[in-house]
């Protein structure tokens, strides 16, 4: 970071930013990239580059970040409606489900203009073969393809599918540089040169132009090279954690594909906020969640000791409850 350039990125004068943008674009098989402050920004700008004339709509998974967790940004920024698709297999949407939710042009409708997929979604890997089918469907209908690939790095490392293979099926892709990658801040939007030129203009409109972003870009570049290759070890640790918790009687809400463990503690009688959070906090471990459901996300700074400590806290809680019941 100390050696990074200090050019003005708004005027495209920052060498470190340009190197990062070009590097990620090349990894994904696209022409150009745009460094932004957040994944919400890269998603919303990416979608807006395709959504140019209302009325229009976006098809996406009902669990997707662009639908649930971006403050209604599609409606606000793009003046578009959303057709959320339920993934009946519990893992990913299918080409048939997407096809059934495409809205055709009619005087009464907001026709579909974009199909937006997410990979990973809740830590689940979207099979590349199904992505290919959906992309072929979308392009045969003249629809743009957008990917929220905030955690695409994890999907690629676990599946062995290269980023540029995923990139073949999308017109725009958003990739997070913090989260599992470990950079201080930022996300990258990639696409063709024309799309990124438009996106750069929109970034300024969003108030997202930043000046001396070189040190942050340099950190992200370093993390891609050094941390991304270690992700499979994190995935293995997440699967180990899941196995240990299941052995204690805790249920998994969904399978563990990468670095997320979604648990349900209802059947063992533990409340996340009442029981689990206070006990874990005594060991300097913080988790979110409410009721009996929570999501545990592992990254490269979480080690086996931390996981074993977590599991032991749960074991002690369950033993304590058994002893109270026996008394």
pLDDT at 9: 82
Task: Tell me the mean pLDDT in the region 265-272.
Answer: 95
Q: What is the pLDDT of residues 200-251, one digit of tens each?
A: 999 999 999 988 889 999 999 999 999 999 999 999 999 999 999 999 999 9
Start-to-end C-alpha separation, the chain: 59
Query: Which DSSP string do the residues of 255-318 spell out, in sequence order?
Result: --SSSEEEEE-GGGT--IIIIIHHHHHTTT-----BTTEEEEE--TT--HHHHHHHHHHHHHHH
Q: Which fold is adopted by the domain 9-226?
A: 3.40.640
Q: What is the pLDDT of residues 114-149, one digit of tens each?
A: 999 999 999 999 999 999 999 999 999 999 999 999
Three-state secondary structure readout of 9-56: HHHCCCHHHHHHHHHHHHHCCCCEEEEECCHHHHHHHHHHHHCCCCCC
pLDDT at 119: 98
pLDDT at 28: 99
Tokens 């929220």 label which residue? 148
pLDDT at 56: 98
Task: Tell me the mean pLDDT in the region 46-69.
Answer: 98
One CATH from 2.102.10.10, 3.30.460.10, 2.60.120.10, 3.90.1150.10 for 230-322: 3.90.1150.10
pLDDT over 70 at 18, yes or no: yes
pLDDT level of residue 327 (50, 70, 90 thresholds):
low
Task: Tell me the mean pLDDT in the region 178-186.
Answer: 94
Provide the percentage of residues in the chain whose pLDDT is more than 90: 91
Which position has the higher pLDDT, 163 or 212?
163
Of 59, 42, 189, residue with least CA distance to 116 = 59
Domain boundaries defined on the chain: 9-226, 230-322
Q: What is the pLDDT of residues 98-121, one digit of tens each?
A: 999 999 999 999 999 999 999 999
Residue 39 is encoded by which pair of tokens?
């994944």
């Amino acid at each position: 970071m100390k050696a990074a350039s200090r050019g003005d990125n708004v005027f495209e004068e920052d060498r470190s930013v340009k190197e990062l943008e070009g590097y990620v674009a090349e990894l994904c098989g696209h022409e150009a990239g745009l460094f932004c402050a957040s994944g919400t920004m890269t998603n919303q700008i990416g979608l807006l580059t395709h959504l140019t004339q209302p009325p229009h709509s976006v098809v996406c998974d009902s669990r997707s970040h662009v639908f649930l967790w971006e403050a209604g940004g599609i409606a606000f920024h793009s003046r578009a409606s959303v057709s959320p698709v339920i993934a009946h297999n519990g893992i990913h949407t299918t080409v048939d489900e997407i096809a059934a939710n495409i809205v055709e042009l009619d005087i009464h409708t907001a026709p579909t203009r974009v199909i937006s997929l997410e990979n990973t979604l809740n830590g689940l890997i979207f099979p590349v073969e199904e992505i290919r089918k959906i992309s072929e469907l979308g392009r045969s209908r003249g629809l743009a393809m957008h990917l929220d690939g905030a955690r695409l790095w994890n999907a690629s490392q676990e599946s062995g599918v290269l980023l540029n293979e995923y990139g073949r099926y999308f017109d725009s892709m958003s990739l997070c540089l913090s989260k599992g990658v470990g950079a201080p801040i930022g996300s990258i939007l990639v696409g063709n040169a024309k799309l990124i030129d438009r996106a750069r203009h929109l970034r300024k409109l969003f108030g997202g132009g930043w000046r001396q972003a070189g040190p942050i870009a340099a950190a992200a570049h370093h993390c891609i090279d050094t941390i991304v290759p270690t992700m499979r070890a994190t995935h293995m640790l997440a699967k180990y954690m899941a196995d240990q918790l299941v052995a204690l009687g805790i249920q998994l809400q969904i399978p563990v594909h990468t670095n997320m463990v979604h648990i349900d503690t209802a059947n063992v009688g533990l409340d996340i906020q009442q029981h689990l959070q206070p006990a874990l906090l005594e060991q300097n471990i913080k988790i979110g969640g409410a009721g009996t459901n929570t999501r545990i996300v592992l990254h490269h700074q979480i080690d086996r000791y931390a996981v074993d400590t977590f599991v032991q806290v749960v074991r002690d809680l369950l033993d304590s409850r058994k002893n109270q019941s026996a008394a």
